[in-house]
Structure 1
Amino acid sequence: MLQLVANASKFPSKTAVIDSEGNYTYQDLLEKSHGVSEALLNDRSDLNEARVAFIVSPGIDYVATQWGIWRAGGIAVPLCISYPFPSLKYVIEDTTAGYLIVGPEFEELLLPYQENTNTKYLRLEELKSDSNIPLPEINPSRGAMILYTSGTTSLPKGVLTTHAIIESQISTLVKAWQWTSEDYILEILPLHHVHGIINVLCCALWSGATVQFLNPFSAKEVFRIFKEGKLNVFMAVPTIYFKLISEFESLSIAEQKELTAAMAKFRLMISGSAALPVSVMEKWKEISDHYLLERYGMTEIGMAISNPYIGERRAGHIGQPLPGVEFRLVDENNQPVADGEPGEIQVKGDSVFKEYWGKPESTAKAFTDEGWFLTGDIAVNTDGYLRILGRDSIDIIKSGGYKISALEIEEVLRTYPGIKDSGVLGIPNEEWGELVVAALVCEENPNLEQLSQWMRERMPAYKTPRKYIFIEDLPRNAMGKVTKNDLKKLF
């Protein structure tokens, strides 16, 4: 029996899921997911790793569908509910999905698949059964899920994980962040991504905790739920914290005090999926009494590095390797670098993915001969804490012989009066190799001469942007990461 399912059977009468339709116990979840499994199997004994793509709104139906696919022996392929049809088609066809489960609100979008002969189209409401047939035994080494990379540098790749890998990712975090059955968390993150699926949903359900779904996101509604006093764990991405801070600042002093008192009672608040600006970290501490725990992970590795649950959390740092994770920082020749020197993060461990689906060459290129996974992220190690400088192909600008961290420049720009956000990148230049440029989101556009002078007082001249543009907002993907290839087009 899958460990998630085995754990759920220990808490039959406890509330597992709360969504807009109601409250559901772990027993409800076990019964609903069993029904999905039976309907999928349809007289077969085992799906034998058939890919099952599904597009279902966040809530009990999403969880029951995901668990039902796993319990029937299929590989779950969650689709992003905000993607346009071409993006969904790419994932369905790239995984050669044998089944497509569609929630009622997405039927019109997926209409072309109703007559598709390669993929069996299944309406969510039809996936019910109460005959209680025995389900297959699932070996942990079997494929469990395919999630897609964000595709910031190339076409998205399907990341295949096994049940054993997922269980390793979950159990590592449950231990590191001290999850228990007393925990209660709000799920506001996209459920086609490791942050929402593993860090929030699976860790909570593995532990016997309660997950409350909120969809769509609303800062007002998040704060209303905070004030109810039931939540004690919260996870979000930096853009969400930014929106919550803006909402907080629009409230009366009395409402702010009530909210701060409610948030102070939480045991843990976490930020991830994109670099957390130090300014946001400090502002959130001021309004919530929480120093956000920042961590580092990827679709391919789950979470690998984290600031400690108990101990010093350093602003601007992703922390230390999690238990069971081997890591090293290396130079361009795969040689370890000294402390304080920038190097690529490479990772080994039981939480690392199995392969890129259908892409053996990409899989081979992603690992060294010794089995280290190449993350492509550049960091420095200072006193045992890692600080991300950026992604080698996006955030590391090679200008005039220097390697410059775009994230470092962005952090400084955000502290200038009137600048709300910034995106820094390098654009091709004959003289410099790459020219440092910045897109700014401002309350009102600053005097560029004064801004350049101010920047030069804070960092070397070669790091100072040579060109600025002003935009209303930075382009981002579903997880809040700035899509710098889109930004580059503006220059």
Structure 2
Amino acid sequence: MKTFPFLGPFLPDTPLAWYQGASISPHTFLGHLGHCLKTWPSSSHVINLCQDRYAFLLGFAAALLRKQITLLPLNRATESLQEIGKAYPGCLYLTDSNETIPGIEKLSLNPSQLKGSSPIERPLIPYDQMAVIAFTSGSTGNPRPNYKSWGSLVQVAKKTGQRLGLELRRKDILTIVSTVPHQHMYGLETSIMLPIQKGWAIYSGRPFFPEDIRSALTTLPPKRILVSTPIHLRACMLEHTQFPALESILSATAPLSQALAHQVETAAQTKLTEIYGFAEAGTIATRQTARELNWHLLDGLELASCASGYSVSTSYFPDPVPIPDSIQAQGPHEFSLGGRPSHMVNIGGHRTSLEELNEKLTSIEGVTDGMFYIPDEGENPGDRLVAFIVAPGHSQVSILTALRKKGDPVFLPRPLIFLERLPRNPTGKLPRETLHALFQTHLSSTGQKIIS
């Protein structure tokens, strides 16, 4: 039976994680894991809600060793979690906080309270063992389960690490600090799987604000990688955050403009790599956004045309996986990204995409966040585009004037709705239903007809 180790090439006394200011060695981790396994309950599935990254790692490892599948919910809303409980009867939920989910058995985990225990052997996990069920983003329709084997998670981690091309010595201590939740596929792949497979350390916290990010990075040994999103990186640039020396920065696609990528690289004096993927496949491609427009597939992946556009195949996919975005192939291993088909905008024969419009909106100086919205038919008089914007000091006139200079006026939003902040989820996304609710609130506040 083919297996892959849970832990990569860690030296015995090097940090596997930084937890509450102290380093956790592989030896200590295996002792903590052994302690957990002594009382770990039986179940087929576990909803891992641990907010601390080290607690999540312990729960993830224990579930794998008990042949349990970890469920990664889209959000922490009680009703959403109860729906998962109904879909997977008998599942448990693991938490490191006091939250309760009526109707689902609770399992608590606090690493600081684990007693010393003899470390278990370094685990070997069967390649084909089902490890995770991740759910599609709510911004693309109704959430659907996506099954991930242990082998596929390991392959993505190894290929992503190879793509970064970092030159490290055997004894170098490299730590990944992430601003994104590990319950999301991007967070799981980059802040859990990538470090444990490459022998790098995990920072257990999840800094959010620019000063928190700077502080977390500066408390660690010199070699660090920041995993983040364009929203977090833009906030750091607006506050002129002083980054310490970094080996690399990884960013999700939200989208990330080339101008912001240049700015971040200059401020951090390192290279920024943008990650492209989706729940059905995980990470499939990267680009160095400050220098590249096209995306490059990870080694061993290949594009092919299919009924819906293009699919991607590799040895660890049982079947080719359709790519949900509109792309232009530049050969079997390279492509340019056009956006989701549902994000394409056609007004009077003029075409663009929401991604392009959002990039133009957020590139206006003084705009801290913004998002275009395509209303449902009849929802907005004249079926005009709507835009939500966070831009202290700007007015309707100044924003519309700036947009006119950047593109076709047929795409100017009516209305342009100013907000103090956009209610993005922890990975920086704004699902369509959230934008719909925002627009309905605006219509209600202005006395206009609300379309349900």
TM-score by length of 2: 0.82
CA shift at 1:443, angstroms?
1.8
Give the corresponding residue for 1:440: 389
Distance 1:77 1:154 in 2: 19
CA shift at 1:314, angstroms?
3.2
**RMSD of aligned residue pairs (Cα, Å):** 3.4
Deviations 1:196-226 (A, max 9, x none): 2112221111111112222453422321243
Equivalent position SS for 1:189? coil
Deviations 1:343-392 (A, max 9, x none): x452222454x6xxxxxxxxxxxxxxxx4322321234569864433222
Give the corresponding residue for 1:347: 312
- List runs of 5+ in structure 2 lacking aligned partners: 440-452
Equivalent position SS for 2:223? coil
Equivalent position SS for 1:61? helix
CA shift at 1:248, angstroms?
2.2
Deviations 1:445-469 (A, max 9, x none): 3343x65455344323443434422
Give the corresponding residue for 1:424: 372
Give the corresponding residue for 1:68: 62
CA shift at 1:440, angstroms?
2.1
1:144 aligns with 2:131: yes
CA shift at 1:21, angstroms?
5.8
1:204 aligns with 2:204: no
- Picking from 228, 231, 239, the partner of 1:247 is 239
Deviations 1:127-183 (A, max 9, x none): 889588999975321211112222123332222111121122112112212366632
**Cα gap change, 1:286 to 1:101, in 2 (>3 Å):** closer
Deviations 1:74-98 (A, max 9, x none): 1122457x72322222233323353
Shifted more, 457-466 versus 55-64: the winner is: 457-466
Equivalent position SS for 1:327? strand
**Cα gap change, 1:226 to 1:469, in 2 (>3 Å):** same
Equivalent position SS for 1:152? helix
Distance 1:204 1:133 in 2: 20
- Picking from 211, 228, 232, the partner of 2:224 is 232
- Map residues 403-422 of structure 1 onto 2, 5 A cutoff: 403-422=351-370
1:4 aligns with 2:5: yes
1:124 aligns with 2:109: yes
CA shift at 1:433, angstroms?
9.4
- Picking from 418, 421, 424, the partner of 1:470 is 418
CA shift at 1:328, angstroms?
4.0
The one-letter code sitting in structure 2 at the alignment partner of 1:275 is: P
**Cα gap change, 1:345 to 1:29, in 2 (>3 Å):** farther
Give the corresponding residue for 1:314: 291
Equivalent position SS for 1:12? coil
The one-letter code sitting in structure 2 at the alignment partner of 1:155 is: N
Shifted more, 273-282 versus 127-136: the winner is: 127-136
Asked if the contact 1:441–1:471 (Cα under 8 Å) also holds between the matched residues in 2, the reply is yes
Equivalent position SS for 1:480? coil
**Cα gap change, 1:433 to 1:146, in 2 (>3 Å):** farther
**Cα gap change, 1:148 to 1:410, in 2 (>3 Å):** same
CA shift at 1:489, angstroms?
3.6
Distance 1:171 1:148 in 2: 23
Distance 1:372 1:476 in 2: 31
Task: Kindly tell me the number of residue pairs found equivalent between the two proteins.
Answer: 429
Distance 2:162 2:120 in 1: 35
**Cα gap change, 1:281 to 1:56, in 2 (>3 Å):** same
Distance 1:401 1:490 in 2: 28
Asked if the contact 2:34–2:118 (Cα under 8 Å) also holds between the matched residues in 1, the reply is no
- Picking from 278, 288, 299, the partner of 1:323 is 299
Distance 1:22 1:136 in 2: 24
| Identity rate, percent | 18
Distance 1:7 1:419 in 2: 43
Distance 2:270 2:211 in 1: 19
Asked if the contact 1:301–1:351 (Cα under 8 Å) also holds between the matched residues in 2, the reply is no
1:276 aligns with 2:256: yes
Distance 1:293 1:154 in 2: 28
- Picking from 273, 290, 293, the partner of 1:293 is 273
CA shift at 1:323, angstroms?
0.7
1:88 aligns with 2:81: yes
Deviations 1:61-113 (A, max 9, x none): 22111111112221122457x7232222223332335333332x23x423x24
- Picking from 90, 94, 97, the partner of 1:101 is 94
Shifted more, 438-447 versus 190-199: the winner is: 438-447
Give the corresponding residue for 1:165: 152
Distance 2:76 2:66 in 1: 27
Equivalent position SS for 1:232? strand
Equivalent position SS for 1:248? coil
1:378 aligns with 2:326: yes
The one-letter code sitting in structure 1 at the alignment partner of 2:281 is: I
Asked if the contact 2:296–2:335 (Cα under 8 Å) also holds between the matched residues in 1, the reply is yes
